[in-house]
Chain A
Amino acid sequence: MNKFKENAFKSVTYIASLFTILFLFGIIASIFLEGLPLFNFVKIKDFIFNTAWHPTHDPPDFGILSLIIGSLYVTLGALIIALPLGLGSAIYISEIASPRGREILKPIIELLAGIPSVVYGLFGMTFLSPMMIKVFGIPTGLNVFSASIILGIMVVPIISSLSEDALSTVPKNLREASFALGANKWETIIKVVVPASKSGILSSVMLGFGRAVGETMVILMVAGGAAQIPSNIFQPVRPMPATIAAEMGETVIGSPHFHALFGIAIVLFLITFLSILITEFFINRKKSQ
């Protein structure tokens, strides 16, 4: 009887994991199936390297370079903002805070991750954007900078909690050895603990990258949506997920525009796939060390 139970449990979990894989391949297959027909109309090279995105114009332009660059700008901006904040709070929570302070701080930072992205978007649109116009005297507050700030705040909990995990797995004897050699707490953290958890921190940054590059609602509301390569951070951009979200509902199914949106989805998928591969690489390297 026990054996039967064990086998049943095994097969249930096996089927569950099989389904996950099935869903993943189903999604991958469908975006490629709908995206690849685009290249009957447009050359791959023109699709990736042309900057003109005028999908409904006659004749249409399907160049997504400005959309790719828009995505990379806001994502890198978000990481530049989130890394010091996330890593800083991780170091404080793991190394400096009292156990009581840790108990209070940790859930508060994790609460940030629980706020729906549309709420972040509303905040950016109605509060941050008008403030930007007033503070910097710029023509529009919907731009790379605003989108980076909001995305950055959204990525902080990812970097913070994963980095904190990495920092807290650094063995105690490393710290004690450092203190024994006469290093103070600051030197121990910067020269011993952080380098020892380098791969964990890097993988948290890559996961943050994956989160930010795919985030849709916030950039749809805050990035401005101009399909151009910005010359400074106060100009609007049109990242890839925002383009798909804004245009998919109105396009004619089966038209070149429809396939082009799936083409963007393929590019987006490849970018996030790559970021996950890099994350895995860091995690594996850490294990083999």
Chain B
Amino acid sequence: MRKIITIVAILTLIAVPVFARKGNKITIAGSTTVLPIAQACAETYMDMHPDVNISVRGGGSSVGIASIIAGTVDIGDASRHIKSKELTQARENGVNPYENIVANDGIAIIVNSENSISQLTLIQAKDIFTGKIQNWKDVGGSNMPIVVISRDVSSGTFEVFNSRVLQNAKVTDGSLMLASNNAVATTVGQTPGGIGYIGLGYLVDEVKPLIIDGIMPTKETIQSKEYPIARTLHMYTNGNPKGLVKEFIDFVLSSEGQRIVEEQGFINVD
């Protein structure tokens, strides 16, 4: 009798994952910027639907789009739009990439809250970060050396900043390179001459977001695309999402999913 129970128990243990996987599995890969959103949404979704199994991997935007083209994943995350070359490739493979915008990502340029500067132009910001302007007095502030504080060049935040502000110029070699949004916020808050940039969700009292080209970074100006240092985050699917994938994307876009988006430091889609 005990033997039979053991055998049944073992068979159930083997059978459950095998059957649960069948048809109830979503695979996601791609952008490390979208990764925290995908991961947190997947966890909540799996809590709500214990029979669904979602596996989320990083790899970068290019990997996300390449995986959708190759058909190896259900959802490919990307923090940029698909390139025309990739689109042709996809069409040749019989794949029709469909872009689902799941979040807005806005980057605020911040200074110490005691700094008298409250606005810069995009050009001035570029000159500061590339080391051309090295003192606050050159942009109308007090005579104080500028301490440039950047994110590590592999981070998604740097990627946006690079494409919108630096336009692929190099950050000055003397700039501090910190590993997280929080580290940048803390350091700018402690450094009177500091300037840095962080996702809008990471603002703290010790720092002041700058008005860029006359526009204050807020949820509204980022959603309306007036503010220049912003982008949308995407989950690509093959064609209009269907079935389980559609249910998951709908969840990400629901008020619950968008609350998770905000929790991760991004801005919801309106």
Residues of chain A touching chain B, judged by Cβ–Cβ distance below 8 Å, are 52, 54-58, 66, 125-126, 129-130, 133, 139-142, 220-221, 224-228, 235-236, 238, 245-247, 249-253, 257
Contact = CB atoms under 8 A, between A and B. Distances in A.
Contact of A140 (B60, B144, B194): B194
A38 B152 CA distance: 21
Contacts of A249: 32, 154
B190 A141 contact: yes
A140 B177 contact: no
B193 A139 contact: yes
Interface in B132-162: 144-145, 147, 152-156, 158
Interface of B: 32, 59-60, 62-63, 144-145, 147, 152-156, 158, 168, 170, 173-179, 183, 186-187, 190-194
B183 A125 contact: yes
A227 B138 CA distance: 25
A139 B143 CA distance: 12
A59 to B, nearest CB: 11
A142 B177 CA distance: 10
12 contacts: A54-B153, A56-B158, A57-B153, A125-B187, A133-B191, A139-B191, A140-B176, A141-B190, A220-B179, A245-B179, A252-B60, A257-B154
Contacts of B145: 139
B174 A142 contact: no
Contact of B147 (A55, A140, A247): A140
Contacts of B168: 57-58
Contacts of A226: 173-177
A239 to B, nearest CB: 12
Given A133-B190, A139-B193, A247-B154, A236 B179 contact: no
Nearest to B189: A130
Contact of B32 (A52, A129, A250): A250
Given A250-B156, A257-B154, 18 more contacts: A54-B153, A55-B153, A56-B158, A58-B168, A125-B183, A133-B191, A133-B192, A139-B144, A140-B176, A140-B187, A141-B190, A142-B176, A221-B179, A236-B174, A236-B176, A249-B154, A250-B152, A251-B154
Nearest to B61: A252
Given A56-B153, A139-B145, A225 B193 contact: no
A66 B177 CA distance: 14
A238 B177 contact: yes
A221 B60 CA distance: 25
Given A140-B191, A250-B154, A252-B62, A225 B174 contact: no
Contacts of A227: 173, 177
A225 B59 contact: no
Nearest to A230: B174
B63 A246 contact: no
Contacts of B158: 56
A238 B177 CA distance: 8
A251 to B, nearest CB: 5
Nearest to B154: A250
A125 B147 CA distance: 16
Nearest to A125: B186
A42 to B, nearest CB: 17
A240 to B, nearest CB: 14
Given A130-B190, A139-B193, A252-B63, A224 B153 contact: no
Most chain A beta carbons < 10 A, residue from B144, B155, B168: B155
A174 B191 CA distance: 55
B176 A225 contact: yes
A9 B176 CA distance: 54
Contacts of B62: 252
Contacts of B152: 225, 246-247, 250
